Structure 1
């Protein structure tokens, strides 16, 4: 259904609007009565301008005059083509008439208006509006058909271009195939030349063997120098390479960096990393052997590992001797004292001697806790439950030293834990954190879940750990405390290793944070 054509009648007098409605009453259009210029502007802002055939505008109105209203209407692009007829009973001078035409009106009528003349003028503008709308619709339809025709022509042009391209491709196909064959032959020759140079000059041991009989076709200089075998192996199937189980490499096997042994012509047994690849030489399948001799590297690594173990044993022995010598010295001194004095001194000093023996025993026990093969009894446990059971003890220790403890425990599922070892780890780290802070500091204990881990965070507000000490954390007998054994944190690292957990450290002058990440799924 088409939108009904509208006529705007703008007059501040209600009786004038009634007269205009009576004159223009028609089923072909709708007369909209508005009593001010402001109301007319608001209406035009809300309603589509292309539905309005003509505006009948009174000149003299309170507020915005007819002239001012029309000037504002014409400033809006959508309303610039609406015909406007001024109606006035007062402004009859030629200056007002000219101003009316100047601001954009199409006619200027004086009241009282002849009804039939007004009706004929309005009907004329309505017919012009309807014809304009029809022309606009026809123009849009014509534009659409023009676009469709252009699109059809474009597709035809594209089809023609493709046909021309296909013809050109077809014409050039033979020439291109010929050129490609020539290029391929040149590339093949170049590739063979490059391969030959690489084969001859490569520092790796290289040999080419025919498939399936594995007879040697060629070996390079490095092969000859390392194995001692040269042209005498050409044409034979002698296999010098053995895997770690002393088995010959299998026929046609493709391997990557497999450790093998080979026996030189002089009888020496050497080690190499072998890689193989099936290649095509003159339309014949061949097996390319590429081996890198690692005999000297393995000897160097073995010697370095042995020296590292000896160094570690020496450091640990020195640490244990240093820590146990002190209580042993105390006990020896008291025994000498007993030997030189009366026996009544025994009751006074025996508790001290027993305490020193217990101290030495504790050091040995802590040292044994570092063992990787120590039995760990792990079962599904809640890390939050373990921390909450230890929290009163940690808080009591903090209160005694004038410090604070802050705990935030997020949801964490049960994971495989050894209850006793976890208590030892948590207490050791929390006590270290409390000792690192001055009075008034806060120790933070948090737990939360990551996609693959449950995380335990322990953070202090101490002065931090020096950069040169960070890489030594967890090393047995390394400590920055005056009376520490250097085993506490090392034990924590050992417990974490037995739980397949990792420990990360972040330190600054404002404090140190330890992140212990436990895997959600046991390994």
Structure 2
């Protein structure tokens, strides 16, 4: 209905329906059901009076009151309601099915009602009446609020006018004194101003064009006064940071850089607007700007340098391990083959020995052979048979195995594949990479966790996303990811993730890690052939 549109209420409007018969209340609730007001059902006059003592009267738009009720009648209840000042303006409509005499109607109006309806009530007519009272209630509330606001604004305006008059008088006196002072100091100020402009221009050029991140902050609260373009580019924060005290710089121990500490080339970390944590060398100095003590912060971002050093160290370690793997694998496997042949022969000829020792020896030899196989996968010069393959096809073939593993551990797998072009892949190595990283993700989560698998094209790369909802990777362990024999598992060999990094390197792919207490996500980016890097 039109009356129910456009309601803007700070509180829920209430309609009180009072009747000692539950079925009548149920009918009223059904007739008046609306999202714009709440129908409160009460079954006696005593309940109405108790409700009005607890709830604000200005929330009630209208009361629908049954005349004949046990205990207090409708007439008696309304007389008591009207005696309370806060409730005198609440509209009341009497509902009755017993007497239609003019005496009852006049008595209803006499005690304070504004309408008298006979049961059975016409539903549409009742809704129209209630909607009209709701609209009147809302309009009354708006007028009341506007009146209070107008009164407040009038008082504020009077106070402002008084202050303006006082300020105007003071300003006139100050202008006289200022004119005298200006005449005496004009020549001195002109010279000082020219020197200051030149100095500020030189400083501003150095400040704004510096490749280092630079910020000027007021002491002692470290409010940002100015930041240069390098600060904006690296942190992602623009002029919106000016006037705030947002502290982005932390020491390696996790403490914020204090306002009273002058430091030089201190290694710190800062978090960009996109939540990326980067590393910088920070130097600070206390300077005076317009007779105000400020701190000049100069930071040189060394994130990429550290990342390059870490990657070089990891690659050097992988090369060393690969050379070792290629050298020792052949020497170890030959004697293992001979020993296994003798053990099988003993198992056929000596039953007692078979039962006690042979199965254990064979199991340990198989385990050693498995480790050597994984170790050999790290070799840089390992032959890789790459051909045009589609990443989605490989994952779809492995998906049933991954889902089965997830179901067995009470976890879930969510996957989303988008069409991607074929790229140069070694099918066997890709299976090993995907399975290793998916198993790691499942092991990192508690029961009910969800593993995310996604593929998509990003400019000239095909991206494979593998994410979990575990507890994340400790910051101190991030730089060690991909190193052989580094593991946080009690029974892990530390070769699984190292093999994944080695496979990615042979495919000229990069691995990016994003981690937080809510989970870890790996982004493996494979170059698309004949695409510009």
Name the TM-score, length of structure 2 as normaliser. 0.35
Look at both structures and tell me which one has the larger radius of gyration over its CA atoms.
Answer: 1
